[in-house]
């Protein structure tokens, strides 16, 4: 009888805890407008990468604004959340590079833009780390480290993918439009 009672309490606990934890899911780093823009550019990897670069830059611009606004409420938390969005967007960029690369869709122009942005983003993240007050940095140093690592990894992946794409282009094995791939 005690086992049944214990299982009953466990079931009640699970009914309370799981819905709460499910509601604590990460928010989408993209706005509805940005999602629509991404959908419209699905067939054109260069355009899609360019959009994502602009979305990442927008998050970094928001961080810069917050850093200069000393009256901002919950500034460290907002910077933390923007850095999480930044990292999620870099993950999305990596996923797109993998998808378009595996289908041999030409994205050389977008990759060049990514490689240029990589240096810019690494510099901005380094400045954020160096110029943040210690008491604030403590609140987002972990996600800042993740963002820096993700930026470096994305840049390395973009350079490698660009080399592969250039080789495929020499052999005329790249598709211009994703939906016209021959798979």
In the block, which residue shows the tokens 């993209």?
30
Q: Which is it for the CA torsion 128, 130, 136, 139, positive or negative? A: positive
| Selected residue with higher pLDDT from 6 and 106 | 106
pTM, to two decimals: 0.82
pLDDT of amino acid 166: 96
Please tell me the least confidently modeled range out of 8-12, 57-61, 111-115, 161-165.
8-12
Query: Distance between CA atoms of 6 and 45, rounded to whole angstroms?
Result: 54
Query: Distance between CA atoms of 103 and 101, rounded to whole angstroms?
Result: 5
Percentage, residues of the chain above pLDDT 70: 84
Which tens digit of pLDDT belongs to each residue from 123-166? 999 999 999 999 999 999 999 999 999 999 999 999 999 999 99
């Amino acid at each position: 009888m005690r086992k049944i009672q214990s299982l009953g309490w466990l079931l009640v606990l699970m009914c309370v805890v799981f819905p709460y934890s499910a509601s604590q899911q990460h928010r989408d780093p993209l706005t509805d407008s940005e999602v629509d823009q991404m959908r419209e550019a699905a067939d054109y990897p260069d355009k899609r990468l360019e959009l994502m670069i602009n979305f990442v830059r927008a998050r970094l611009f928001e961080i810069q604004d917050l850093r200069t606004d000393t009256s901002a409420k919950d500034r460290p938390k907002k910077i933390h959340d923007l850095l999480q969005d930044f990292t999620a967007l870099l993950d999305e960029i990596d996923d797109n590079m993998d998808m378009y690369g595996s289908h041999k869709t030409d994205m050389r122009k977008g990759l060049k833009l990514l490689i240029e942005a990589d240096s810019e983003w690494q510099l901005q993240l380094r400045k954020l780390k160096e110029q943040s007050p210690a008491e604030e940095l403590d609140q987002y140093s972990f996600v800042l480290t993740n963002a820096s690592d993700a930026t470096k990894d994305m840049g390395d992946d973009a350079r490698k993918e660009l080399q592969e794409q250039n080789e495929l282009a020499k052999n005329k094995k790249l598709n211009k439009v994703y939906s016209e791939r021959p798979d």
